[in-house]
Amino acid sequence: MSPANTFGYVANDTVIHRLSGSTKLIAFIALSLIVMTSYDTRFLIGVMIFSLYLFYLAQIPWKNIRILIYFVLAFSVLNLLTIYLFEPEYGVQLYESRTVLAEGIGRYTLTAEQLFYELNVAIKYFSTIPLALIFVFTTDPSEFASSLNRIGVSYRISYAVSLALRYIPDIQDSFFEIRQAQQARGLEMSRKTSLVNRITRSAQIIMPLIFNSLNRIEVVSQAMELRRFGRNKNRTWYRYRPFASKDIAALALVVGIVLIGMYLFYVNGGRFYNPFQ
Amino acid sequence: MMKQRQTLQPIIQFNHVHFQYDSQAEKNLIDVHFDVHPGETILIIGPSGSGKSTIARCINGQIPNTHPGKLEGTVTVNGRDVYSSSIFDLSLDVGTVLQDTDGQFVGLTVAEDIAFALENDCVEQTEMRAKVEGWSRRLEIEHLLERMPHQLSGGQKQRVSISGILVNDIPILLLDEPLANLDPAAGAETMELIKSISKQHQYTTIIVEHRLEEALLADVDRVLVINDGRLVADTTPTKLLKSNVLSEIGVREPLYLNAMKYAGLDVSSFPVLGNFMDVSLSDRQLVQIEEWARSIPKSEKPEGKGAVLEVENIDFSYTESAGAKTLSNISFSIQNGDMVSIVGTNGAGKSTLAKLICGFVQPTSGNIRIDNQETSRLSIKEIADHVGFIMQNPNHMISKTMIYDEVALGLVNRGWPEDQIRERVYEALRICGLYPFRNWPISALSYGQKRRVTIASILVLDPKILILDEPTAGQDYAHYTEMMAFIQKLNVENDMTILMITHDMHLMQEYTNRTLVFDAGKLLADTEPSAVFSNPELIQAAHLAETSLYQLGKLLPSMPAKDFISRFMQYDREVPR
């Protein structure tokens, strides 16, 4: 009885879905790293368009990610505001130029350099977030563990991560069940009560939830041990998808983008593209 | 099997074994001594806490690897000394199916779960796929390979667990309470499966259970009876059923055997007892049983004392799309003082019905009235003053560390003054037999006692109706009897109306006067339990199994099976236990 719009893999058959999980993970990590380091606006815009295009290709249903997107957008805006609040002249330092657009109160002036800097940060968000969503929503959880293992993470940790993902829906179900039991005993959890009350009362639900989960972990780890999990240094994967030619093509493309990004460090004489000089 | 025994070396040997867990003060096993020979099917039976699970753990190496303790004597499995072997090495000799069908499901899909041990043995993908395919075909689950665990029924999960063990060609199969989480139909199916695979592939099979009658369907060669850590019998099912051992240790005898004894038949004269299908009764003996049944006066059904809960034309669906209704057009009314069982498969709508009555979810259309009040206008909290819902898992309900606080919680939330709370809480604790423990932490209680705490915490709210979800799941006969006697006391002495969601056929027969059968969101039947047990279609729809009592009833020359069952139950209720 789990709801249709849960967080996680949505089965489909797009180009993106057909890529191996490892390819998607490597591409996500490599592109995120170069996007985080580079401040070449032209490059960042290119990557952003590319990743938004991939996002379009992946056809992730809107209802599954709606709440997540709102949350991420709110968080991004908050983050951009915080940067301005703490370092209103950071762009001026970076670009060694000061073009005042409007005088504000005290040190809070508005400069073209600061705006440009924050624009770069915003573009970074819009480049990496679609990639993260693509990875999470188009990678079969069965393949998730083998992908992590493939890029060098120990299989014990890889398996633990994928098991944790598997139990999220179960834990959600338990949470609702426990909450109903508490409500029946008179715990007001609806909007009729204050936010602080709702939070402290949620804590009453967390305790049984944790005990339940610990119990579950014990059973699962016994079951795994009895079937020899952890006996050998390696293990094989039933769902592992070997690299196909499209994976190699995709990785070549990613390497190309990363190389362009690094070449631009050389051209710009550093990480920053500076239009103010 | 008997002939093989002399020629082959034992595959499992317990040599005067004593065991004590490090965490416990007393020995769990005392001088346990037995052999198991290759190809045998052995049933280890005993009440909860008797030590039967400890024996299982000694065989698969969880003792001492996972559960450390002091072991005297030796346990040898397939030539290996268990105490000095790793759990991994032993897992190549003993394949274990744990009792928690959900918890042991490790893979994300059926195929991965079956392949799990092969993955850990670094088997190549092509070989792995071939093995998974072969075993899933043999166990008839090949159409489920891509399914996720929550899409499977209990019986299917059990098949997946068993396949996941068999892929390794392991000589010994160990099943720890395989019936615990299954409905009767799935339980019977699993026992048949165990019977056929162990005979076909010459496995040595060990079944640990406390439900004797169902376990005997697996055609066991020998039964080991454990009580208080000692092996009290090591014998064939027939000899065991002729002895008094079972009644002494509190394991329930098969119902047909009870009926034969009540009717005055000499059970010691039968060559074979065990699975009822193998027992041959002469016409004269059947007549004797029928005459006994006829001598029991049929009790009059007490008249209802007015409706306390009325459900009228309820429709409900979780999604907005019209096609998939979880419940459709449900109507019934419950009389004050009724004791009702609600049965049906998982997903038939039983739990949804309970949630609707408690107001956790609202019906799409239709009315629910409690004490002549429409519930649609009441909040969850207000409904809770009339209806108490006890969940299956007490850990889902308990949120405090101390018993007193937990039981008081509902009243504290309602803002009652402290002295009145104390009075109510003490009273509820007394009813539940927990008064001596009132200042204890909940963690010190047993599972059954925790269930009582959850019941006490609902009783303080003084509801008229109590809904219990699987009140006896996973409990042995002694705890079952204790729990049900308590619920019956609430019904009789405290005048509570009781609704129980259950798979337990004994509970339905012995303690309820009405049964609602749900199937695919519809109320299929609203009748007496004995009518359900004598109707093959209802049995199938509700995933129940034919009881030996029904099988016996069908053989009687002129009395209908339904009549026989209800007369038997009435007699059985009055026999002192």
Distance from CA of A39 to the nearest CA of B (A): 41
Answer yes or no: do B244 and B288 share one domain.
no
Average of per-residue pLDDT across A223-248: 91
Distance from CA of A180 to the nearest CA of B (A): 7
Taking each helix axis from N to C terminus, what angle separates A112-138 and A21-37, rounded to the nearest 10 degrees? 170
Q: Find the angle CA(B240)-CA(B241)-CA(B242) to the nearest 5 degrees.
A: 90
Average of per-residue pLDDT across B163-174: 92
Q: Find the angle CA(A177)-CA(A181)-CA(A183) to the nearest 5 degrees.
A: 115
Average of per-residue pLDDT across B307-329: 81
Position B98 in a domain: no
**Residue A41 clears pLDDT 60, i.e. is over it:** yes
Q: What does the pLDDT read at residue A4? A: 41
Answer yes or no: do A92 and A205 share one domain.
no
- Poorest-pLDDT segment among A207-221, B236-250, B351-365: A207-221
Cα–Cα distance, A145 to B13 (Å, whole number): 40
Answer yes or no: do B473 and B388 share one domain.
yes
**Residue B538 clears pLDDT 80, i.e. is over it:** yes
Q: Is B543 exposed, middle or buried (0-12, 13-18, 19+ CB in 10 A)?
A: buried
Cα–Cα distance, B192 to B216 (Å, whole number): 10
Position A132 in a domain: yes
For B315, list phi and psi in degrees, rounded to 5. -120, 145
Count residue pairs from A and B with Cβ separation < 8 A.
150
* Residue partners of B387: CB distance under 8 A and separation at least 6: B309, B357, B358, B370, B463, B464, B465, B466, B467
Answer yes or no: do A65 and A106 share one domain.
yes
- Place A192 in a pLDDT band, splitting at 50, 70 and 90: low
Position B300 in a domain: no
Answer yes or no: do B12 and B160 share one domain.
no
Answer yes or no: do B406 and B280 share one domain.
no
* Residue partners of B541: CB distance under 8 A and separation at least 6: B344, B345, B517, B519, B524
* Residue partners of B332: CB distance under 8 A and separation at least 6: B310, B311, B516, B523, B526
Position A3 in a domain: no
Map tokens 């339904």 to a residue. Answer: B562
Mean pLDDT rounded to a whole number for chain B = 89
For the whole model, what pTM was predicted?
A: 0.84
Q: Are B403 and B468 in contact (CB under 8 A)?
A: no
Average of per-residue pLDDT across B486-515: 91
Answer yes or no: do B380 and B494 share one domain.
yes
Task: Starting at the earlier edge strand, list the strands of the sheet with B230-235.
Answer: B94-97, B172-176, B204-209, B41-45, B222-227, B230-235
Q: Are B379 and A164 in contact (CB under 8 A)?
A: no
Rounded to whole angstroms, what are the CA distances from A227 to B63, B117, B177?
16, 5, 18
Q: Which domain holds residue A253?
A: 8-140+240-277
Answer yes or no: do B163 and B204 share one domain.
no
Answer yes or no: do B561 and B577 share one domain.
yes
Closest CB to B87 among A211, A220, A226: A226
Q: Find the angle CA(A147)-CA(A148)-CA(A153) to the nearest 5 degrees.
A: 145
Nearest to residue B236, comparing CAs of B57, B2, B10? B2
* Residue partners of B435: CB distance under 8 A and separation at least 6: B426, B429
For B226, list phi and psi in degrees, rounded to 5. -115, 135
Average of per-residue pLDDT across B336-344: 93
Q: Which of residues 236-255 of A touch B (CB under 8 A)?
A: 236-240
Q: What does the pLDDT read at residue A232? A: 92
Q: Are A128 and A47 in contact (CB under 8 A)?
A: no
Answer yes or no: do A224 and A133 share one domain.
no
Closest CB to B117 among A187, A228, A240: A228
| A170 → chain B, closest CA residue | B150
Average of per-residue pLDDT across A59-67: 86
Answer yes or no: do B397 and B349 share one domain.
yes
**Residue A264 clears pLDDT 80, i.e. is over it:** yes
* Residue partners of B159: CB distance under 8 A and separation at least 6: B139, B140, B141, B190, B193
Position B389 in a domain: yes
* Residue partners of A30: CB distance under 8 A and separation at least 6: A254, A255, A258
Domain endpoint, select from B168, B196, B218: B168
Cα–Cα distance, B270 to B261 (Å, whole number): 12
For A126, list phi and psi in degrees, rounded to 5. -70, -15
Cα–Cα distance, B560 to B99 (Å, whole number): 38
Position A145 in a domain: no
| Strand bridging mode B339-344 / B514-519 | parallel
Answer yes or no: do A66 and A188 share one domain.
no
Q: Which of residues 426-485 of B touch A (CB under 8 A)?
A: 457-458, 461
CB distance A163–B106 less than 8 Å?
yes
Which residues in chain A have Cβ-Cβ distances shorter than 8 Å to B458? Answer: 185
Position B6 in a domain: yes
Position B563 in a domain: yes
Answer yes or no: do A55 and A123 share one domain.
yes
**Residue B159 clears pLDDT 60, i.e. is over it:** yes
Position B302 in a domain: no
Distance from CA of A221 to the nearest CA of B (A): 8
Write down the number of H helices and E strands in chain A: 10, 2
- Place B112 in a pLDDT band, splitting at 50, 70 and 90: very high
Answer yes or no: do A86 and A169 share one domain.
no
- Reduced to 3 states, what is the DSSP secondary structure of residue B108? coil
Q: What is the DSSP string of A150-215?
A: HTT--HHHHHHHHHHHHHHHHHHHHHHHHHHHHHHTT---STTS-HHHHHHHHHHHHHHHHHHHHH
| Strand bridging mode B230-235 / A110-111 | unpaired
Cα–Cα distance, B153 to B146 (Å, whole number): 15
User: First CA to last CA across chain A, in angstroms?
Assistant: 61
- Place A253 in a pLDDT band, splitting at 50, 70 and 90: very high
| B348 → chain A, closest CA residue | A1
Answer yes or no: do A35 and A124 share one domain.
yes
For chain B, say whether A12 makes contact (Cβ under 8 Å). no
Alpha-carbon A179 to chain mean position: 29
Answer yes or no: do B349 and B491 share one domain.
yes
Cα–Cα distance, B144 to B133 (Å, whole number): 11
Q: B29-84: per-residue pLDDT in tens?
A: 999 999 999 999 999 999 888 899 899 999 999 988 888 999 999 999 999 999 88
Cα–Cα distance, B187 to B216 (Å, whole number): 11
* Residue partners of B306: CB distance under 8 A and separation at least 6: B335, B336
CB distance A229–B360 less than 8 Å?
no
Q: Which two tokens stand for residue A125?
A: 């968000």
Q: B386-421: per-residue pLDDT in tens?
A: 999 998 888 888 888 899 999 999 999 888 999 999
Q: Determine which of A173, A228, A239 to mutate to test the interface with B (most B C-beta atoms within 10 Å).
A: A228
Cα–Cα distance, B504 to B490 (Å, whole number): 20
Which residues in chain B have Cβ-Cβ distances shorter than 8 Å to A178? Answer: 396-397, 399
Q: Are B180 and B99 in contact (CB under 8 A)?
A: yes
Q: How many CA within 13 A on the CB side of residue B345?
A: 19
Q: What does the pLDDT read at residue B28? A: 92
Q: With pLDDT > 90 as the criterion, what percentage of chain A qualifies?
A: 47
Q: Which of residues 93-112 of B touch A (CB under 8 A)?
A: 96, 98, 100, 103-109, 111-112
Position B99 in a domain: no
Distance from CA of B98 to the nearest CA of A (A): 7
Cα–Cα distance, B1 to B536 (Å, whole number): 35
| Number of domains present in the structure of chain A | 2
Q: Is A11 exposed, middle or buried (0-12, 13-18, 19+ CB in 10 A)?
A: exposed
Answer yes or no: do B136 and B238 share one domain.
no
Q: Which two tokens stand for residue B290?
A: 């029928």
CB distance B88–A228 less than 8 Å?
yes
Which residues in chain B have Cβ-Cβ distances shorter than 8 Å to A163? Answer: 106
Average of per-residue pLDDT across B323-344: 88
Cα–Cα distance, B408 to B298 (Å, whole number): 44
**Residue B107 clears pLDDT 90, i.e. is over it:** no
Residue B334 DSSP code: E
Q: Is A82 exposed, middle or buried (0-12, 13-18, 19+ CB in 10 A)?
A: exposed
Nearest to residue B233, comparing CAs of B247, B214, B215, B216? B247
Mean pLDDT rounded to a whole number for chain A = 87
Q: What does the pLDDT read at residue A106? A: 85
Cα–Cα distance, B352 to B347 (Å, whole number): 9
Position B301 in a domain: no
Which CATH number goes with the domain that contains B191? 3.40.50.300
For chain A, say whether B356 makes contact (Cβ under 8 Å). no
Q: Which two tokens stand for residue B460?
A: 């303080």
Q: Which domain holds residue B163?
A: 106-168
CB distance B103–A219 less than 8 Å?
yes
Position A1 in a domain: no
Q: Is B166 exposed, middle or buried (0-12, 13-18, 19+ CB in 10 A)?
A: buried
Average of per-residue pLDDT across B322-334: 82
Q: Find the angle CA(B398)-CA(B154)-CA(A140) to the nearest 5 degrees.
A: 90
- Place B324 in a pLDDT band, splitting at 50, 70 and 90: low
Position A2 in a domain: no
Q: B257-285: per-residue pLDDT in tens?
A: 999 999 999 999 999 998 998 999 999 99
Position A147 in a domain: no
Q: A85-134: per-residue pLDDT in tens?
A: 998 989 999 999 999 998 888 888 999 999 999 999 999 999 999 999 99
For chain B, say whether A101 makes contact (Cβ under 8 Å). no
The answer to whether the peptide bond before residue B38 is cis (omega within 30 degrees of 0) is no
Q: What does the pLDDT read at residue B7? A: 56
| B66 → chain A, closest CA residue | A222
Cα–Cα distance, A146 to A245 (Å, whole number): 19
Nearest to residue B191, comparing CAs of B218, B211, B216, B212? B218
Element (H, E) at B42: strand B41-45
By residue count, chain A amounts to 277
**Residue B178 clears pLDDT 50, i.e. is over it:** yes
**Residue B87 clears pLDDT 70, i.e. is over it:** yes
Answer yes or no: do A135 and A159 share one domain.
no
Cα–Cα distance, B577 to B567 (Å, whole number): 18
**Residue B301 clears pLDDT 80, i.e. is over it:** no
| Number of domains present in the structure of chain B | 4
DSSP collapsed to 3 states, B475-543: CCHHHHHHHHHHHHHHHHHCCCEEEEECCCHHHHHHHCCEEEEEECCEEEEEECHHHHHCCHHHHHHCC
Q: What does the pLDDT read at residue B3? A: 44
Q: What does the pLDDT read at residue B472? A: 85
Answer yes or no: do A35 and A65 share one domain.
yes
Q: Find the angle CA(B185)-CA(B191)-CA(B193) to the nearest 5 degrees.
A: 100
